[in-house]
A and B are shown apart, each in its own frame.
Chain A
Amino acid sequence: MTLPAGPGGTPVTVGGQNALPLLPEGEHPNAPAVGMEVRTGPQELPPALSGAIGPFAGDPAGMARKCAGDWGARFLFLSLAGCHPDAGGQSVSEGAAVVREVLSATPAPVIVGGCGDEEVDARLFPAVAEAAHRPVFLSYAEEKNYRLVAGAALAYGHGVVSWSPIDINMAKQMNLLLADLGFPPDRVVIDPLTGGLGYGMEYTYSIVERIRLAGLSGDAALARPVLCHLGDAWKAREATDASEASWGDVVARGQRWEETTGLACLAAGADLLVCRHPASVARLSGAAWR
């Protein structure tokens, strides 16, 4: 499976392995890839993130260039959170314009995430699919909206992220539904919903491990790369609360919280990681071996 890049960029190819992660056995033609989130809309950043990415608030194209250039992100996850009615409510066409801007700013592969509002996303995904002048992935298709998202992606040659709420049967069902629509399996990534460290991470860990074991033992509908978005790590009080002195420095702690969540995902078998802290890219890449 390949996340396509723009002219002069490096596509990200993952998957193709026939053995469990991290071990020197079987074939691992591709190492897991670490990408970064670029988010639109107003954000309240925790201390560990505000110093690092705060200066790029309101400048998704600048942030995208920085992520792919200086910070070493191999792909970008552009979250159009700013289109949510509660987040200032950028219009759908404004959201689509941001996508074009980011795609022009960097040739790195891009996954475009919706805003999370069902009604807005139903208009947003088709607009993004049309506006994107090179192939991207749309995130995400779930049981409720997969026809719409997959339809938009099919029409313009994009891929989709197939989402399920920490449920292996649902993950499989989603991929079967996408296959029924004639969606090419090599343009599908599984997002099993990643719980943050301390707040449900163990469920994700076991689901990813089970998805990978099932895929390796011949269950074609689960033999897809897995994407883990580490954003939930930053919802943990332990990652953001500066008031607990006995927990150590909040900046170091926030970084470690995201890193630990990501390392557990890699140990379970994730192929694509999306992080928010620039330092996590290098740190997690340190364990993203083939």
Chain B
Amino acid sequence: MALTALDIYKLLPKTNCGECGQPTCLAFAMQLASGKASIDLCPPASVEAKEKLSAAAAPPLPKVTVGTGEREVVLGDETVLFRHEKTFYHPTAIAVSASDDLPDAGFASRLAAIRRLSFERVGQRISVDLVALRCGSGDADRYARAAAAALDATGLPLVLLAPAGPLAAAVRAVAPSRPLLAPSPEDLVPGAKLAAENTLPLRVRARGIDGLSVALSAARAAGAASLVVDPSPVTPREAVDFATNLRRLAILSRNRDLAYPSAFDLGGFPDPFLAAALLVPKYGSLLVLDSADPAELLPLLTLRQNLFTDPQRPIQVEPGVYPIGAPNESSPVLVTTNFSLTYFTVRGDAEAAKVPAHLLISDCEGMSVLTAWAAGRFTGESISKMLAECGIERTVTHRTLVLPGMVARLSGRIEELSGWRVLVGPQESSALPSYLRRLPPGAFLPVHG
């Protein structure tokens, strides 16, 4: 368990020397406890205190990296069991498999298909992270060539799933790209030695938590240090159970012997999609899938994008003018805030109305309408400023704004400052369809000036 401020205070010199920048040792202890400061700022601290505090500050689930540079994938390094407690930091990495026994043309088109599994959603790019290379050929040279080709064609880091011989050949070909070595369980020790010699990450696969416990000792004895674990479940239910237990052992029990990111090879699994959709929320750090069907990967990557956002930081939409349908110069103009949920809801309801419109998204630091109004971020001034600056006055010939009903009280100020006429819309976005359909066309006639 993490140390409390009082536990930490007992380890400090208690001289209130101020070298750390805090007035007292207790104040510094509180900073340390909340992770806002590091023990390095306290030169007089004893060696013992430094050791204890850096051990306590290490993440309960260690970080393992695969790949290098921009494509580096980080596994593990999580601190909580539930995202609402803080956040999940490192999204479940998704690898799609290719097998080296495909004919050359088929292998190339498989790699191209994997590379295409990359989508733009709400201003972010969400993509498959790795290529998992299966050794179907059993031929070391062929496997090594396939590894080099996969790296070259996709630029993605590799998971090398192979027996020791082909694995060693592939490592010679692509070691600088920092692949994850995933030897067959019977080749664990040679695989672990290979990982140790090349300082590469290693996947240890064994049956269940007990099996892993034994296999991990062997891997560590062979010198492998950067490890991920696959408890090889046979059903989705077992997969969730194993993944949860591993994460709890790391975070609640601080069991260093089993605290490793989890990896699941779902190839040959009875229902790989279902297992994957459950393992994204439930503690899978790396998933290997045989499907390269975008109809499956887009929902999985979206699920991951959703769950790995920071729940304490509202997701914001880029402020600006968004078209609903194909609006023209006399289409209604609506305004709301840039909290993503507010935006999605209003956009969905406005689209349901089938009335083309311009939707102004005002910069409110990701707050909803009422919150933004209460915080002074959604005001007569800010809305008038947006009307004048966002370009809408050049797009439409009328000057009529539909305002969320919750902030009807802003109407007067907006009319006064902007010269626009304000129509008070419904209190709830869900009433927008009927509201928009009933707006008289005369409401948006051109202004003469």
A interface residues, Cβ below 8 angstroms from B: 22-24, 84-86, 116-117, 166, 195, 197-203, 205-206, 209-210, 213, 235, 238, 246-250, 252-253, 256-257, 259-260, 263-264, 266-268, 283, 286-287, 289
Contacts and interface: CB of A to CB of B under 8 A. Distances in A.
Nearest to B306: A202
Interface stretch (B100-108, B224-232, B261-269, B293-301): B293-301
A248 B298 contact: yes
* B82, B352, B430 pick with most chain A CB within 10 angstroms: B82
A253 B295 contact: yes
B124 to A, nearest CB: 11
Interface centre among B82, B296, B299, B344 (most CB of A within 10 A): B299
B299 A238 contact: yes
A268 B82 CA distance: 10
Count class of interface residues, chain B: 35 or more
Interface in B283-335: 293-296, 298-300, 302-303, 305-307, 309, 311
A80 to B, nearest CB: 16
A198 B306 contact: yes
B277 A264 contact: yes
A260 B300 contact: yes
A79 B251 CA distance: 44
A209 B81 CA distance: 11
B348 interface: yes
B240 A213 contact: no
Nearest to A266: B278
Query: By DSSP majority rule, is chain A's interface helix, strand, loop, or mixed?
Result: helix
Contacts of B340: 200
A248 to B, nearest CB: 3
Contacts of A252: 293, 295-296
B336 to A, nearest CB: 15
Given A210-B82, A259-B274, A286-B236, 15 more contacts: A22-B241, A23-B240, A197-B303, A197-B306, A202-B307, A209-B82, A213-B82, A235-B352, A246-B116, A247-B298, A252-B295, A253-B295, A259-B277, A264-B280, A264-B307
Interface in B199-254: 236-237, 240-241, 244
Contacts of A213: 82
Contact of B121 (A198, A209, A267, A283): A198
B434 A85 contact: yes
Contacts of B311: 202, 206
Nearest to A260: B299
B282 A22 contact: yes
8 contacts: A22-B240, A198-B122, A206-B311, A235-B352, A260-B277, A264-B280, A267-B282, A283-B274
Q: Which of A166, A248, A252, A253 has the most CB of B within 10 A?
A: A248
A209 B299 CA distance: 21
Given A198-B121, A286-B271, A286-B274, A22 B82 contact: no
A22 B294 contact: no
Contact of A267 (B281, B302, B352): B281
B371 to A, nearest CB: 12
A264 B303 contact: yes
Contact of B348 (A235, A267, A286): A235
A176 B306 CA distance: 31
B344 A200 contact: yes
Nearest to A251: B295
A192 B430 CA distance: 16
A-B pairs with lowest CB-CB distance, top 6: A248-B295, A248-B294, A253-B295, A202-B306, A252-B295, A263-B277
A84 B433 CA distance: 11
A24 B73 CA distance: 31
A289 B274 CA distance: 13
Given A23-B241, A256-B273, A283-B274, A198 B302 contact: yes
A213 to B, nearest CB: 7
Contact of B341 (A195, A246, A253, A263): A195
